[in-house]
Chain A
Amino acid sequence: MLEGQGLTIGYPDRVVGVGLDVRLAKGEVLALLGPNGGGKTTLLKTLLGLLLPKAGEVRLDGRALSSHSVRERARHIAYVPQTHVATFAFPVEAVVLMGRTAHGNLFRRPTAKDREVAAAALAHLGIAPLAERPYTMISGGERQLVLLARALAQEPQFIVLDEPTASLDFGNQGKVMREIRALAASGHGVLFTTHDPNHALRAADRAFLLRGGEQLAEGPVKEVLTQERLETLYGARVHKVADASEIAFLPG
């Protein structure tokens, strides 16, 4: 269980959010939604332990996250950042191997097991053929999958993804959503941010709505994501489309 209670989040010079309660259980997907500048990224960084909460405490399996070493943390929680252009043209395999960092000491070279785990992560996501390609020469969608493979190679219990679908085409968005479901099915706790409520409906069990640093709602995704709440959340009109089994929202 990764949880934060009564969190005040922010940076040394400013407070971004107050009074936030977040819980992420293993085997569960939590979607974090909210307008730009609402504090989503700050909350993510706090839950990852990259940023200390200004009040309250983040706990990992009941123990304060800040009492874990950087390395211990990385063996429990993996972070999938938004894709970026890398400075150096590392081969994909080397990028995924970096996920094994926390499993070795400062000077250790990757072991045969590390290479196996990395290869398995690539194979699991169906991108094994990319292993030798330079990370800078593959598409944005492929890069997102490589970063996901790197997170898998960390063998974490929790995976935190920052807008995993932001730079992806329609087909790859679906693929990432399916992967997120599969991760939860295999026992991981998954937290992701998104700008698309439909992605939350599709992939998440629970949703957390964050607006202006305040917790607007938190709970089962189908209950939390209503037309009225979304209109409040984004301060804009939202249309609802429904058929017998599914609902979807369109920006008005």
Chain B
Amino acid sequence: MKIRRSVPGFTIAVCVLLGGLLAAFTVGRYPVGLGDLVNVLAKVLGHRTDVSPAVESVVLQVRGPRVVAAMLVGAALALAGTAFQGLFRNPLVSPDILGASSGAALGAVVGIYLSLGVLAIQAIAFGGGLIAVAAVYVIGSAVRSRDPILVLVLTGVVVGALFGAGVGLVKYLADPYNQLPAMTFWLLGSLSAIATADLIPLFGPIAVGAIVLIALRWRMNVMSLPEEEARALGVATGPLRIAIVAAATLVTSASVAASGIIGWVGLVVPHLARSLVGPDFARLLPAAAILGGGYLLLIDTVARTMAQVEIPLGILTAVIGTPFFIWLLASMQKTWS
């Protein structure tokens, strides 16, 4: 009964992903027909088919890496958001609200400023993200309040602002001709610069973090209970929390390092996924990952085709995410205790 009930939810998530894939490959300045797409795929799989080199190049070289990156980043942000919401027992938190994104952003901007390589930038971004989330968590739990959820969100805003100031400082110091445009473009979030070589440093950390999160999905339910209750149920909450925060921060930071700041995905997608398959993390985490991949593919397709110039992804996700958050805040108020 339970399985049957959740199947449509998963089916919808997979359909969104497939729809996103189709749109991302076929729509664009150089339209690719469905038949051409099938032919290219067949050729990749070793069949002899008749495909023009131009089409093949568009599908494999131009759109291929970007499609893979969009799926990975969307899935990563959705997973991280889902995990953070469970861990902090708060459906309003997301990687960007807890400062992981702004911490990672500061790290990455510093990396660009120092003209480091992709791997080094990613490592610094990861460190920055971890420091920011740890700071939010420590401060948020040190401040005694009747409403710890509110304290946590506000702490995230404050710490995020501090890291944002750091980003501003680095931009101010950066070379305005070489580094600054790269930073600005990057901070708005974009997948346009993704090349095949970027996929490995993106895939590695996301795979590791995602495996950890999905492996722990059964425990995540218990982790969403109050601390003492979880421990009384037999969960060593301390180490597990650190593992989950580290994994979620790892996938967030890897995404930010590759694609810049793409906000709101980690907030919106977990809610959509929850409405599809329910709150049980065992089903929610995989569903959120699938849906997140499809969601970002669709948005990225819009970003590159809506106007003459490409629209930064972070702007599009914010246009969708902000009203969503306000709606959520209004509808959540009732159940806040």
Q: Which residues of B contact A70 (CB under 8 A)?
A: 231, 234-236
Q: State the Cβ distance, A164 to closest chain B Cβ, in Å.
A: 15
Say yes or no: A91 contacts B278, CB within 8 Å.
yes
Is B218 close to A, CB under 8 A?
yes
Interface with B: A17-25, A73-81, A218-226, which one?
Answer: A73-81
Partner of A88, one of B1, B216, B279: B279
Q: State the Cβ distance, B54 to closest chain A Cβ, in Å.
A: 48
Among B86, B91, B226, B228, the most chain A Cβ lie within 10 Å of the Cβ of: B228
Is A71 close to B, CB under 8 A?
yes
Nearest opposing residue in chain A for B337, CB measure: A85
Q: Which residues of A contact B232 (CB under 8 A)?
A: 48, 50, 73-74, 77-79, 81
Give the complex CA separation of A70 and B236 in angstroms: 6
Is A101 close to B, CB under 8 A?
yes
Nearest opposing residue in chain B for A70, CB measure: B236
Say yes or no: B279 contacts A81, CB within 8 Å.
no
**With A45-B228, A84-B337, A89-B279: A102-B234 Cβ-Cβ less than 8 Å:** yes
**With A85-B337, A107-B215: A154-B221 Cβ-Cβ less than 8 Å:** no
Say yes or no: B335 contacts A71, CB within 8 Å.
no
Render A85-108 as a binary contact track against B, CB cut-off 8 A, 1 for contact.
111111101100011011010111
Nearest opposing residue in chain B for A81, CB measure: B229
Interface size bucket, B side?
A: 20 to 34
Give the complex CA separation of A85 and B224 in angstroms: 12
Nearest opposing residue in chain A for B225, CB measure: A98
Say yes or no: B233 contacts A154, CB within 8 Å.
yes
Is A66 close to B, CB under 8 A?
no
Say yes or no: A107 contacts B216, CB within 8 Å.
yes
Say yes or no: A109 contacts B224, CB within 8 Å.
no
Q: Which residues of B contact A79 (CB under 8 A)?
A: 228-229, 232-233
Nearest opposing residue in chain B for A108, CB measure: B218
Partner of B233, one of A84, A102, A106: A102
- A residues with a Cβ closer than 8 A to B are 45, 48, 50, 69-71, 73-75, 77-79, 81, 84-91, 93-94, 98-99, 101-102, 104, 106-110, 132, 136, 150, 154
Contacts A73-B234, A98-B225, A107-B218 known; list 6 others, CB within 8 Å: A74-B234, A87-B89, A88-B86, A88-B224, A89-B279, A101-B222
